[in-house]
């Protein structure tokens, strides 16, 4: 049995095909490339039952991942995060089966580690010595640290307003770190030039095909953890949209394998009101989004004014009868507090945005009481120390307190 049943790369826009041996970036038509596998072969050798005995990491799905030689796997123990039932919050929202897939528990504290683990492993396999990327923080931190583990040099460019903790993670990893007085789009331009000038491997969002394969494991895990039953709705805080595209890809692949039955869950893209290009495009029934000027939100992970894979995100929403919802920063931070109080979970603002969207969709009747709802919390609240205000006066020693 082979470690991976990867077949080739294909373009979802023009259908061109490429092999997986080289440093493949975008299709010649400018579209991101997706990975295809030998499903008929795989169907014959792998069953869901075999998976249950495997290690508790995303590498349990290695046949459906692009790394062909196990020796190239670069792992910090990522994946197989808990799918937690939230009964108290569910009761408050009038949803009987509300779950949170908690990505705060992966290495580096956000689900970006999934994309980095698979992306860096494949980069190692195809002989990459040095890569570069622009980032709002979390992706750069994950790629720099996994790069360090793989022995690959990295150049990371981030806006000066990106959270200091992610800057520290990158600096500590020994990467070439640049902090730009501008936005992620400015960082992108700088990286683009460096890639051209120095022949670096460009690992910007969706400019290499393998990050999405790491992120799709969220969808594989949700299905496995639900006993291969499909939930009714899955909601995801959407920036570049790679997570949502990945989850959709995973569920369709499981259908191809015949491991899941019934309808796919309705997929919901949640965005911040200060940066909602996908929501706008969905409302206008468009198949692509437009650049969102002067974007702003405390949920910096979803501050992406124009995503390269927007057409794939919108397609996943349309194909599953999903929707797109925007949430004000104020209401997501309110929800972040409520979840800590009711469920003891300190989640990130992006994750909190999802719960705010669930509350609204339930109120509108779009989500019904009896369907199973899965919210993605994409990161740990402790990575965002400054979004929470806990100013309390310091008391003198030997003070007695009133309870
Ligand atoms: C990057 C990020 C997102 C958005 O992920 P995409 O796959 O790019 O849409 C959401 N939440 C957090 C915490 C992130 O870091
Ligand atoms: Zn193409």
Local mean pLDDT, 10-residue blocks, the chain (403 residues): 96 96 94 97 95 94 98 97 98 98 97 98 98 96 98 97 94 97 91 96 95 98 96 97 98 97 95 98 98 93 93 98 98 97 97 98 98 98 86 89 87
Q: Dihedral, CA atoms, 180, 308, 289, 327, nearest 10 degrees?
A: -60
- Please name which ligand lies nearest the alpha carbon of 27: 2
| Whole-prediction pTM | 0.96
Q: What is the pLDDT of residue 390?
A: 81
For residue 278, report the distance from its CA to the centre of ligand 2, in Å: 22
Q: Which atom of ligand 1 is nearest to the CA of 241?
A: 9
Structural domain boundaries of the chain?
6-73+111-202, 83-105+216-381
For residue 342, report the distance from its CA to the centre of ligand 1, in Å: 24
For residue 397, report the distance from its CA to the centre of ligand 1, in Å: 43
For residue 17, report the distance from its CA to the centre of ligand 2, in Å: 8
| Separation of alpha carbons 176 and 154, rounded Å | 6
Q: What is the pLDDT of residue 386?
A: 82
Q: What is the pLDDT of residue 185?
A: 87
Residue 17's CB is within 10 A of a number of other CB atoms, namely 12
Give all strands of the β-sheet with 153-159 in edge-to-edge order.
176-180, 153-159, 130-134, 201-202
Residue 342's CB is within 10 A of a number of other CB atoms, namely 15
Cβ-contact 344, 359 below 8 angstroms: no
The three-state secondary structure class of 268 is: strand
| Separation of alpha carbons 142 and 145, rounded Å | 5
Q: What is the pLDDT of residue 385?
A: 82
What are the Cα distances from residue 237, in Å, to 216, 241, 377? 15, 8, 8
Q: What is the pLDDT of residue 304?
A: 92
Q: Which of 143, 240, 268 to mutate to test the pocket of ligand 1 (most atoms within 8 A of CB)?
A: 240
Q: Which residues touch 73 (CB under 8 Å, ≥6 apart)?
A: 59, 62, 67, 121
Residue 191's CB is within 10 A of a number of other CB atoms, namely 26
Query: Between 3.40.1010.10, 3.40.50.1100, 2.40.30.10, 3.40.1180.10, what CATH number should domain 6-73+111-202 receive?
Result: 3.40.50.1100
Give me the count of residues in the chain. 403
Cβ-contact 165, 383 below 8 angstroms: yes
Q: What is the pLDDT of residue 80?
A: 97
Q: Which residues touch 47 (CB under 8 Å, ≥6 apart)?
A: none
Q: What is the pLDDT of residue 183?
A: 85
Burial of 72 (0-12, 13-18, 19+ CB in 10 A): middle
Q: What is the pLDDT of residue 392?
A: 86
Q: What is the pLDDT of residue 389?
A: 81
Q: Which of 140, 239, 376 to mutate to test the pocket of ligand 1 (most atoms within 8 A of CB)?
A: 239
- Please name which ligand lies nearest the alpha carbon of 31: 2
DSSP 3-61: S--EEEEE-TTT--EE-SSS---S-TTSPPPEEEE-HHHHHHH--HHHHTTS-SSGGGG
What are the start-end ranges of the E strands in 171-242? 176-180, 201-202, 233-237
Q: Strand pairing partners for 18?
A: 9
Cβ-contact 268, 235 below 8 angstroms: yes
Give nearest CA residue, ligand 1 atom 8. Answer: 240
Q: What is the pLDDT of residue 1?
A: 84
CB-defined site of ligand 1, < 6 Å:
110, 112, 138-139, 237-243, 301-302, 348, 350, 378-379
**What topology does CATH give the domain 83-105+216-381?**
Rossmann fold (3.40.50)
């Amino acid at each position: 049995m082979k470690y991976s049943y990867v077949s080739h790369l294909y373009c979802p826009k023009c259908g061109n095909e490429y092999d997986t041996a080289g440093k493949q970036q975008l299709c010649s038509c400018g579209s991101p490339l997706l990975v295809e596998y030998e499903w008929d072969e795989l169907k014959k050798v792998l069953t869901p039952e075999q998976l249950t005995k495997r290690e508790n990491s995303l590498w349990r799905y290695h046949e459906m991942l692009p790394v062909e030689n196990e020796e190239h796997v670069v792992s910090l123990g990522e994946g197989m995060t808990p799918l937690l039932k939230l009964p108290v919050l569910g009761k408050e929202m009038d949803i009987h089966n509300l779950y949170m897939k908690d990505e705060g528990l992966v290495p580096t504290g956000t689900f970006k580690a999934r994309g980095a683990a698979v992306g860096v492993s494949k980069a190692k396999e195809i002989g990459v010595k040095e890569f570069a990327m622009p980032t709002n923080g979390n992706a750069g931190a994950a790629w720099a640290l996994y790069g360090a583990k793989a022995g690959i040099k990295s150049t990371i460019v981030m806006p000066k307003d990106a959270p200091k903790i992610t800057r520290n993670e990158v600096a500590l990893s020994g990467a070439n770190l640049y902090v730009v007085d501008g936005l992620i789009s400015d960082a992108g331009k700088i990286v683009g030039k460096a890639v051209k000038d120095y022949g670096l491997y460009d690992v910007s969002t969706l400019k290499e095909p393998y990050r999405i394969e790491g992120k799709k494991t969220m969808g594989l895990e949700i299905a496995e953890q639900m006993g291969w039953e499909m939930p009714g709705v899955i909601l995801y805080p959407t920036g570049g949209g790679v997570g949502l595209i990945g989850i959709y890809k995973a569920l369709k692949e499981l259908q191809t394998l015949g491991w899941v039955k019934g309808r796919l869950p309705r997929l919901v893209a949640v965005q911040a009101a200060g940066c909602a290009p996908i929501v706008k495009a969905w409302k206008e029934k468009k198949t692509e989004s437009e650049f969102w000027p002067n974007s702003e939100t405390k949920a910096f992970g979803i501050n992406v004014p124009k995503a390269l894979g927007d057409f794939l995100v919108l397609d996943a929403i349309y194909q599953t009868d999903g929707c797109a919802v925007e949430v004000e920063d104020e209401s997501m931070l309110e929800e972040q507090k409520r979840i800590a109080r009711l469920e003891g979970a300190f989640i990130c603002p992006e994750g909190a945005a999802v719960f705010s969207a669930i509350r609204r969709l339930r109120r509108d009747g779009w989500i019904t009481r009896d369907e199973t709802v899965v919210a993605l919390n994409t990161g740990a609240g402790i990575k965002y120390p400054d979004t929470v205000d806990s100013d309390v006066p310091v008391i003198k020693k030997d003070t007695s307190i009133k309870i």
